[in-house]
A and B are shown apart, each in its own frame.
Chain A
Amino acid sequence: MQVTVEIYRQDAETGASRFDTFIREVDPKDRVLDVMMEIKDQDDGSIAFRKSCGHGVCGSDAMMINGINRLACQTLIQDLKGSLIRIEPLKGLKVLRDLIVDMDPFLASLQKVTPYFIPKTTAPVREQKQSIAERQIFDDTTKCIMCGACTSSCPSYWSNGEYLGPATFVKAHRFIFDSRDGGDAERIEALDDRDGLWRCHSIFNCTDACPRDIKITQAISELKRYIVARR
């Protein structure tokens, strides 16, 4: 089938932007990333975008495809329902060039909730046991690949870059609800803040955008209840 691919271009130095249009013959089962690689290979080698593993694991190629954030490597042409493919960079993050955005603010936000395991005891003498039920509580949020599709789909984040954003809450959820973890205090200090959890208005854009199908809005509401119940 024939598709029209519109790719957002932005000059790194001047910041001038435009859309470049390419018409290509593709297989409906091709992925958007395949088509982009082909265009870069055969039509215009100057198109800049991130990709790494190409299999939905590394989270490098999150971009806005036909108005929704998705991974280019997970999106099939046939899933897009139509012959127009419009590819734009993630919203809410500064565009450095073409489809490449500055992920630094996103990663800095993740750091605020100490995104690593903090043991309850200083020196565990043996392995820390966890039941299946205890693991199940935060199973969903362990799947995050930190692609940024959720945070950059959030209207609250678009209007306020200081807002921690859904990805940070997913990370916080993963550790706060871990029965072995003891780092609640510092995480909650960051979450229970004017730029924290309470700017979430349950818009569900994050849940829709997540390529790992994490129920993000649900995880955020669990965190909200947890923090309110602690008071």
Chain B
Amino acid sequence: MYRVSVEMLSWLLHKITGFSIIGFLIFHIWGMAQMSQGPDAFNRVIETYKTPLFRVGEVLLLAAIAFHGLNGMRLILGEFTHWAMQKHKLLLIITYALAFVVAVVGGYLMWVAE
């Protein structure tokens, strides 16, 4: 088993979050289709989304999108600038720090909102 460095972990997380977001999109379209069945169906779906399982899921979704987006920006910077390649350790720290802040602050706001 090859040692997993932070860079390799980021690559793995990028894949996992990427596939998760695709999975969410498919689920989301299915959910929207359910909602379009009428007022009763709409309310039923919204009630389901208010359950703790889905609320935790929403926060995890935010965390996944925040990491995937920021890590993607880091990779793009690395492809296009010499500077980003030289400072890749620093950029990794910034990526994780920002993703953490977005997930925690955003997650908190989503959790307390009705």
Contacts and interface: CB of A to CB of B under 8 A. Distances in A.
Given A155-B8, A224-B79, A204 B88 contact: yes
A91 B82 contact: no
A142 interface: no
Contacts, number: 48
Nearest to B74: A202
B85 interface: yes
Contacts of B82: 218, 221-222
Nearest to B84: A221
Contact of A205 (B2, B75, B78, B85): B2
B2 A153 contact: yes
A109 interface: no
Contacts of A155: 8, 11
Given A67-B2, A91-B2, A153-B2, A203 B7 contact: yes
Interface in A106-154: 153
A221 B78 contact: yes
Majority DSSP secondary structure for residues of B touching A: helix
A203 B75 CA distance: 10
Contacts of A64: 2
Contact of B1 (A67, A205, A217, A224): A67
B79 A205 contact: no
A68 B11 contact: no
Q: Which of B8, B14, B85 has the most CB of A within 10 A?
A: B85
B11 to A, nearest CB: 5
B2 A221 contact: no
A202 B5 contact: no
A221 B79 contact: yes
B3 A68 contact: yes
Contacts of B3: 66-68
Contacts of B8: 155, 203-205
A225 B84 CA distance: 13
Contacts of B11: 155, 201-203
A208 interface: yes
A202 B88 CA distance: 10
Interface string B7-18: 110010010000
Contact of A221 (B1, B7, B14, B85): B85
Contacts of A68: 2-3
10 contacts: A68-B2, A68-B3, A201-B11, A202-B75, A202-B79, A202-B88, A204-B8, A204-B88, A221-B78, A225-B79
Interface of A: 64, 66-68, 91, 153, 155, 201-205, 208, 215, 217-218, 221-222, 224-225
Given A67-B2, A218-B86, 9 more contacts: A91-B2, A153-B2, A201-B14, A202-B75, A203-B8, A205-B5, A217-B88, A218-B82, A222-B82
